[in-house]
Each structure stands twice: as C-alpha cells, then as structure tokens.
Structure 1
C-alpha cells in the first residue's frame, strides 16, 4: 500500500463494523445526444484509465493486518439504471446515490467503485459514482468527474493518465523517498518536543469525547479573507488557515501554535491529477509575535511551506514517532487540531471592491450559524475544522471538544473567526493587539 492508502486504512479500521461514513459520492451530468451505450463505454474507459478504480485490497493476515493493493486486470462492473418516471432527476439521483454510498465496501473482494445512471424516458441524464475512500481521496472526485465528462464529450482530448498508485508505491520504497521521509520525521520530532502540550494532549484520556458541532455561512468572513489575501498577495485559503491558527493561539493563550493540515500532496506534474488515496498530514507550526497582521501573514506563508515540504512519510511510523516523543514528555498524545480545506481545487472568488466598515456591519448581520446534524467521533482530534466554500460566502463546519474551547464553544469560535478577519482588515492589527481586542469582545455584555 502507498502511504496515502495506509493513512486511510488506519482510519477505516478504527471505525465500527459496517460504517460507511467515509464512502465518497460524486455525480456527473450527461449532455444531450448521448445514449446509454455511450455512457457505459465512457464508464468502462474511466475505470480502465485509473488503476485505483479497479484495485482490491485483500488482507493476507486474518487478524486484520495491513492489506496489499492488487490491481485487477479484467472483470465486470455492474451499473444500476434508474428511470425517473414521474419523479424529478434530482430526487432519483439522491435516491440512487444513497443506495450506492450507504453500504460499506468489502475492499478485499469488491471493486471500490459503484455506478448508477439516471435516465429520463431511457435517455441518460446523470451518472452517479460512489467510491471507497481507501481507493480515492476527495481531490480524486473532481479529477474522476472531469475525466468522465471528457470521455462523454471529446475522448480524444483526454491526455495520458497521471502516475498510478503502484508506481507511487515503488517510489515510496526508494532511497529518494526515504530521504524525504527522514526529513519529515526530523521536522515533526523537533516540533513535538517543543510544542505546548495543549496541541498534543488527548482530553478524553480513555473517556468519552464531548464534541460540539457548528457551521457558519458568512459573506463577511469570505469578503474579509479575500480582501486580506489581495492586500498581502497570498491566497485566501492561506489567510483563512493562518487566521484559524492565530485564533487558536489567542483562545489557549499560547504563542507557539500547531495545526494538522490535511494535504493532498499533489506537488509534482506527474501526480497533479493522481487518482487514489493521497492525503497526508502536514504540521503547521506558527509562532505569534508582536507584528502587524500583514507581517503575520508573511511568516505564516513561510511556515506553511515548511509544513508542506515535510508531509510525505509512512503515517504509521510517524504516529509511532510522535507517541515516543510525547511519552518522553509524559503526555498522553492524540488530541490534535485539524484543518481540512475540502474545496477541491475550487478557487476563491475575486476580492471585489473595498467595503467600508458600515458595509461589513451589514454583512455581519446576515451571517447564519447552524448546528449540523453530526454524531460521528473525530478520531484523534480535539478540534476539526472543515472549509466547504470560500467564494461569495464562507461555509465552515467545526467539530470541537467542548472542554478544549471552554469557556467558549464551537459557535463562538466561528463567530470570533469572522470578527478577527474583519478586524484585521480594518486595522492590520497583529496577534498582540487582536488578543487585547478579543478579551474586550469576550467581556462585553450581551446586546
């Protein structure tokens, strides 16, 4: 298995039996003029193109040892066909997608792909794909759908496929990859020896998690982040990532902050359109100091590059290293802060014109805060933030152990993040001034 596959396997084996929560679902519209045979031919070509879609993961060890990846050279893929009848295509697609996604994959015996086609009077209108996370990651969804659309419209325009997982596995066994892995281990070990224990310690200590969930939908946050990015000459995603780390430092009164970033690691041309499980954790370490917000963003960018350059390694060996180092410090590790930008190559909208403070106040009044219907445990996390959108609005979901953010909560953190971005835009205030302003904000009586 590759390092990315191993990382997902470690999560899958932790889930309860029969859990299908990590299955991934994607859909692709079928343009007019294509019949069912055209769609089936395109699906067949898609599966042949990407080895990850026709790979099994059998376990030689009956006690649950790590599987191997076996690329299946030939076989059959059953495709379900759902006629709309009097129902809308959207409703039929939702029903078909749920049927495909909600059953766990038997990855040792079953191909990691399920397919359905929605038809209207026999004419295909949508293709639904469900995939095992062991075979693909979130970034793969866009690549797979892009390729399927091209195969349906102009197959000759499709270039050669990217590097395949078996080729990646061979690279990871090489001395070159070993050198990269050793550099990553040195970086992580040095950071874990020095970081405040609050970024490492498991609050559960064998007990139950006390998780709370919240989701924010905010035009003000997105507009401020995009304006800060334009002013600093960096990406909006980097601004938001840095702002989350900064606010965590202010919450915990620590000037040495750590975030585990979930990174797609597609850094090279041959892996840019890699289809497979490829995600790894990068360790972003940021030190807060007396400087402007612009200065903070500058060194946050350098810290992010250091994190991205040290995030390719065997994840099992990395966790063993972290456990050894934290044990030396007397820390029961496994309580990390995660940041997962799942926009999957969706660029942020342009910054737009500069807004005045009263205009931002009006946008702040529009902010929606909801409690999403989640009940899943986030393994090894006291804080897990997902970025869904950063266009005309920001959509972020946060799951956090309530003890970690006390006396605030997940909803407070998201509102404080929105406030921090707007405040930094108006004042260019850095960590120390923002800490003082946040203290005044928290003490302010309701209303």
Structure 2
C-alpha cells in the first residue's frame, strides 16, 4: 500500500496563540504518556457515489479552518512540559491511495486506518489529523480520517460530524482551549480546582488503599483488551431504569460496582467515572477535549441492588461537580497520599459510559423477563489484543451497538487476571438480570474491615 498522490490543502481560520494546555488537554496528554500512545481516534467510511477528490479536499479545508483544535500543535519547554500552539493558517496534505483492481475495499480501508494509527505522531510539526481518499479504478470510494485525541472528546466529535455534514457557517460555539486555559488560571478557575481537589482528598483518605487483589494469572504480554456484547445486559439495564425511574447511566454504574465487588471482594468500590463536563458554561458544543474522569466510592455491602443504585444516583451529582480540575495537581495529590498510605494505593479503576442513544429511553415496550432470559445465549465475549504497551490497570468503555450493549475492557493482567476480567463483564450481565424486576435482590457482598 503506497500513496499515489498528495493534494496540498490550504486553510485559514479564526484564533491563534500559545498557551498552557487546558485541563482536558492535559488530562489526555498525561494518559498518552502513561500508555505510550498518541491515542488516535477516527475510522473510515464509504463515499457516496459521485464524490470527487476535490469534495474531500473541501471537507478537510472546512475542518481545518473551522476548528481551532484541528490547527493545534504542541511545543515543549526546557523541562518537557507541553503547551498548545494554535495557528490561524497553514497547509495540510490530503493523501490519495489507489487500491488494486481486485482489492476488498473495506479491508483495504481498515488496513490504511491501522497504518495511520500505528505510525508515530509528531506533536510539534504534524497537524493532528491524517486524511486519505481511497480510489478504485480511478473512482473515489472511501475516506479514512484519523485524529489525535487532543483534538476532541467523543461528544465534541459528534458536534464536528453534525456541523461538517451540513457545512455549518454560523460562528463556532463554545470556549476554545486557549480561552479555557486562561479561565482555569483565573480566581474562579482556581476555586473550582481547589474544591475538586478537596473532594478527591476526602475520598482518597478514607477508602481501602487497594482497588484490586493480587492477580493469580500474570500474563506476558501483560496488557489485554476484550469485548463483551450482551443483548440481555442492554435489556436488563433498560428494565431497571424503567422500574426505578433512574437514568440508565447511574444504573450501569451501580451494576458495574456490584459486579466488581463480587469479582474481587473489595468494598467500598472506588471508581473513576468519565464526566463530559459539557453542562459547564461555554463547553456544551465546543469541539475540544473537556471530558475528565471523576471519583466516587460506593459501599455495596449487605444492601439491596436498589440501595446501591440510589447511592450511585446521589454520588454522581458530586462526581459531576468535582470532575473539572488540573490533572497535574491531582496527580501530585494522589502521589502524596500514596506515599502516606503505602505502595498498594492506587486509583486505577475507570468507567466510561460512551453510549448516546441508550442513555435515553429505548423505544418499544419495556422488556419482559422472558425476553431478557431468551437473549442470554446471544452474549459473546472475546479477547482481542494482548500487548506489552501499557493500558490503565482497569478501564471499561460502554458503547451503543445494534440491539446489544458492548463493554470493552482494557486491563493489566498483573492486577486483574484474564479470568477476572471476563467474570467482571459477565457478572455485570448477571447482576442486571437479577435486579431487572426485583427491588429486593441483595448484592451478596460482605462488609470489609476498616482500612487505615
């Protein structure tokens, strides 16, 4: 696979300058450093019949001109600390790649996407997007787009997709990262950060120091990724939400907490849920990285599932309020507490509900017990990746897929064994099915001794 041609696309847009990273940018940057990966996002799509290379070049020009984060690169000070550099104009190459006459074009597009993702990214000199048109027998058939995660989080990506689809020309909404960084340094921003850090410290000093027991099956390669697709879990979460009149995201958080405690026996369960932060002034429609992980501790011992759900519902209010902070200062706080509480202390348990449609009411009748149980044989789990490049100790993403709920687990097998990882996701299904129609179902978690 080789590039046949490159079209140079010139662009020009509003806004330029050099600033500290915003909190959201710094958070994802620190994750990139931990995981030794530039965390590319994107994919490929078939092009409508009649699309020309010039049409795709116009789309790339639109994206680069409209969104400051598409025109953002990094510079580094003498100590290696990054800063955002926003340009108001420049040029970028659109690559043209010709597929062989007998190529499977979807497979070809997937391979080009993988090549873009697997090629190292130059944060200083490279624009944060790689785009190509695939031609077959001279006709454009597919477009491949890969962006650095510094550009935006998932909800910002949806804003971008909606706007590019209609070629929105109204002024760009939202506080851009240059302005975000300035606000975050302001007295108001510092008050928000200090309140968040006090909240985190109050929890971290009280909870058990360990998130995980010792893994009994440490593997090489060490870091594993798996996927669990469950129609029954989707239906059961919907049934619980309907029965309790609580949103499906707190329901899923409660299910996760109970399943995790059943898997590793540690209570309270300490989880870092992803928070969009888009309810904050100026952030609702901004195309940038503003989501950050919050923190909550849920006591799930000797209570019913519905009581855990009520605790999760109440906890999420505080989580949302205190999930906007300087991640560098948070890392310093965690390091300081870890030094006091011992080497086993960690906060590496992440929960990311990325669903869009299923956070709302699912259309159609409320699932019946018969329908949920009939769906159980259709659940499927598979390990997809084993690598030595690190993931976090445990992170689970949840996505919309047709007629099912998909959970993607990333884990360090030195802390979570492969058997425990699979048991956690299958355990979520079991918890949800048990609680779908029974408000009195117990968690079956024993209380834990008080930890210093």
- Which of the five TM-score ranges fits, normalised by the shorter chain? 0.7 to 0.9
Of 145, 155, 160 in structure 1, the residue corresponding to residue 161 of structure 2 is 145
Q: How does 1:274-289 map to 2 (within 5 A)?
A: 274-288=286-300
**TM-superposed deviation, 1:348:** 5.6
Between Structure 1 and Structure 2, how many residues are aligned? 423
* SS of corresponding position for 1:75: strand
Of 44, 55, 78 in structure 1, the residue corresponding to residue 93 of structure 2 is 78
Match of 1:443 in 2: none
* Cα distance in 2 for residues equivalent to 1:323 and 1:201: 20
Q: More strand per residue: 1 or 2?
A: 2
2:67 paired with 1:50: yes
| Residue-by-residue CA offset, 1:6-60 (whole Å, 9 max, x unaligned) | 12222323345xx55x111234554455533333223212211111101110113
User: Are the aligned partners of 2:130 and 2:147 in contact in 1 as well (CA < 8 Å)?
Assistant: yes
Of 294, 303, 306 in structure 1, the residue corresponding to residue 306 of structure 2 is 294
Q: Output the TM-score relative to the length of structure 2.
A: 0.83
Match of 2:14 in 1: none
* Cα distance in 2 for residues equivalent to 1:390 and 1:91: 21
User: Are the aligned partners of 2:221 and 2:388 in contact in 1 as well (CA < 8 Å)?
Assistant: no
**TM-superposed deviation, 1:339:** 1.0
| Residue-by-residue CA offset, 1:348-393 (whole Å, 9 max, x unaligned) | 6616434444443321122112122232554552x22121336511
* Cα distance in 1 for residues equivalent to 2:207 and 2:445: 23
* Cα distance in 2 for residues equivalent to 1:298 and 1:99: 46
**TM-superposed deviation, 1:293:** 3.0
Q: How does 1:219-238 map to 2 (within 5 A)?
A: 219-238=231-250
* Pair 134,405 (structure 1): closer, same or farther in 2 beyond 3 Å: closer
* Pair 348,29 (structure 1): closer, same or farther in 2 beyond 3 Å: farther
Match of 1:66 in 2: 81
* Cα distance in 1 for residues equivalent to 2:388 and 2:251: 28
Q: More helix per residue: 1 or 2?
A: 1
| Residue-by-residue CA offset, 1:64-97 (whole Å, 9 max, x unaligned) | x111111112211100123456345423432332
Of 13, 21, 31 in structure 2, the residue corresponding to residue 11 of structure 1 is 31
Of 329, 340, 344 in structure 1, the residue corresponding to residue 352 of structure 2 is 340
User: Are the aligned partners of 1:334 and 1:380 in contact in 2 as well (CA < 8 Å)?
Assistant: no
Q: 4+ runs of 1 displaced by more than 6 Å?
A: 200-204
Match of 2:16 in 1: none
Q: How does 1:164-203 map to 2 (within 5 A)?
A: 164-199=176-211
Match of 1:421 in 2: 432
| Residue-by-residue CA offset, 1:317-372 (whole Å, 9 max, x unaligned) | 10111221232223443352111223367756616434444443321122112122
Unaligned residue ranges in structure 1 (runs of 5+): 438-447
User: Are the aligned partners of 1:349 and 1:392 in contact in 2 as well (CA < 8 Å)?
Assistant: no
| Residue-by-residue CA offset, 1:282-317 (whole Å, 9 max, x unaligned) | 002222355543343222111011111101111111
Q: Output the TM-score relative to the length of structure 1.
A: 0.84
| Residue-by-residue CA offset, 1:208-240 (whole Å, 9 max, x unaligned) | 995554422111111001111122222222211
* Pair 435,351 (structure 1): closer, same or farther in 2 beyond 3 Å: farther
